[in-house]
Structure 1
Amino acid sequence: MIHASLIKAAVSASGAMAEINAAAEYLAEAMKRIHGGSWRIQVDHDDALVVICRRSERGRAAPRPEIA
């Protein structure tokens, strides 16, 4: 049987993660209203990092061809 305190901790962590995701989505929407474009959200719990950035209109950078 799972101990009640473990269940409570898991539910609390899930709630906190949902709160973080909601806050990031809110901020991304606000940035979109101000700056336009498409925004990407990245939440990395291992490195304790949240990134909200506008996607590039040009796509990914490609290496420049070497000059002979």
Structure 2
Amino acid sequence: MAASILISALSEASEKRRNVDRIGQYLAHLMGEIHGGAWRVEVNHDCDAASVLVVPADDKRPIQPKPEVA
């Protein structure tokens, strides 16, 4: 029983992640229509607050959040 709940939760999370990816690609498409050129999207789920960044596709630098400096 617990295994089926886990499998169901993983499947649901995977579907939601695919939806986020599809929406990100659509956002990149719209940015191209507005600003011209090709755009790419990076979604960061690793920090306490997720971030979605849309940058020109030719900018190959990895997008990393900058650590907070106190």
Amino acid corresponding to residue 40 of structure 2 in structure 1: R
Task: Give the structure 1 partner of residue 5 of structure 2.
Answer: 5
Larger radius of gyration: 1
Flag structure 2 segments of 5+ consecutive residues without an equivalent. 62-70
**Superposition pairs for residues 34-53 of structure 1, below 5 Å?**
34-47=34-47, 48-53=50-55
Task: Give the structure 1 partner of residue 33 of structure 2.
Answer: 33
With normalisation by structure 1, the TM-score equals 0.73
Structure 1's consecutive aligned runs of 4 or more residues displaced over 6 angstroms after TM superposition are none
Instruction: String of CA shifts for 1:22-50, please: whole Å, max 9, x gaps.
Output: 00000110110111112121111112111
Across the two proteins, how many residue pairs are aligned to each other?
59
With normalisation by structure 2, the TM-score equals 0.71
Percent of pairs with identical residues: 36
Amino acid corresponding to residue 42 of structure 2 in structure 1: Q
RMSD of Structure 2 on Structure 1 (CA)? 2.3
Task: Give the structure 2 partner of residue 18 of structure 1.
Answer: 18
Would you say the 8 A contact 2:25–2:41 is kept in 1?
yes
Instruction: State whether structure 2 residue 50 is matched by structure 1 residue 54.
Output: no
Flag structure 1 segments of 5+ consecutive residues without an equivalent. 61-68
